[in-house]
Every structure is written in C-alpha cells, then in structure tokens.
Amino acid sequence: MTTPKGRLLVVDDEPVILEILKAMLDDEADSIETAQNGVIALEKMTSLQFDAIVSDISMPQMTGIQMLAEMRQREIDIPVVILTSYSDKGNMLQALRLGAIDFLEKPFDPDKLCLIVRNTLDLGMAYKNCDAELNEIYKDNKLSPEAQQKIRDIKSSSRFLRKSMQVGLKK
C-alpha cells in the first residue's frame, strides 16, 4: 500500500512554467492541477480539494498576493508556497503575513522546491486529516450539546494553531 502524497495546485500565468513545474513536482504529489491565474485557481479551490498550492506572485487578473488575501477572506485553508522572479522584501512579507508557508525566488533550486512542496503537502494533508477526524467524532456520535461545543472549540483552536504555525514559519 502506497502512502498518499496529496493533491497540488500550481498557479502561474506562463504555460511553459506551468509545464516545467508540473514535470518537476510530478513525483511529489498524487495529482497536480494547474491554473493560469488566481481567479481560475480560486474557482478550482471551490470545486476540488487540494493539500497545497504553489503560486507565482506576479500574474494578470489576480496576483498571488491577491489570491492569498481572497483565500483568507473565504477561509480557504490550504498551505501556499509563493514563487517570484524578482526579490521584493515587501511582497515577501505581505505574502507571509497572509499565510504563505514559504517564498522562493526564480530561478530556484529544483531539489529545494521539491523538498518544500513535499513538506507543504504533508502539512496540508495533516490539516485535512485533523479536520476529518473531528468531523467524524462530531457526526458519528450522539453527543451532548456541551460535547458538540467542545468540538467546535477544538476546530476553532485548530484554525488558530494553523495561523500561529504560519506566523512561526515567517520568523
């Protein structure tokens, strides 16, 4: 039995870069979807489940930063790695503040990218597994209102811990 590797969404406005990233990351994920901008990526996030996202920062229609902000507003809690072709400390800090897990400059070391994506996929799958276990406990048991409230509190704490972990990763 093979261990699941997760589902990845790669977002970049350049089709050639999308194909290169997809080929580079093929061994890291069970499946890889692509989107050519943040708008398309958000649409895919609402219809498909992903464990991690790799996104360019500079794209037409919606930048990677705008996509991150929209994800946070919609409470889409998927770990994101941001890629950029230019070094801009302001954009890097803004992306990290919005919850990006990491920030890599192009050209990037392929081994480093694969390692970061693998770790990000693992983190995303751990988030999803934790939520699934809490949901199972909640729906399968006839719990008292107090126990149901405790589960809601745990879910809320889980979201808080994820955000705290993201802040910790920024330092």
53-68 pLDDT per residue, tens: 999 999 989 999 999 9
What pLDDT score was predicted for residue 45? 96
CA pair distance 49, 7, nearest whole angstrom: 7
Task: Report if residue 166 sits inside a domain.
Answer: no
Task: Report if residue 164 sits inside a domain.
Answer: no
Task: Report if residue 150 sits inside a domain.
Answer: no
By the 8 A CB rule, do 103 and 85 touch? no
76-100 pLDDT per residue, tens: 989 999 998 777 778 888 888 888 9
Task: Report if residue 39 sits inside a domain.
Answer: yes
Q: How many CA atoms lie within 13 A of 157 on its CB side?
A: 8
Domain that holds residue 29: 7-126
pLDDT greater than 60 at residue 156? yes
Task: Report if residue 25 sits inside a domain.
Answer: yes
For the ranges 6-15, 88-97, 150-159, the lowest mean pLDDT is seen at 150-159
More confident residue, 75 or 3: 75
What pLDDT score was predicted for residue 142? 60
Residue closest to 116 by CA, chosen among 32, 3, 28? 28
The whole-model pTM stands at 0.80
- For 95, phi then psi, to 5°, come to -60, -45
Residue closest to 12 by CA, chosen among 48, 45, 38? 38
Q: What is the CATH number of the domain that holds 99?
A: 3.40.50.2300
pLDDT greater than 70 at residue 36? yes
The total number of structural domains that make up the chain? 1
Q: How many CA atoms lie within 13 A of 107 on its CB side?
A: 3
112-127 pLDDT per residue, tens: 999 999 999 999 988 8
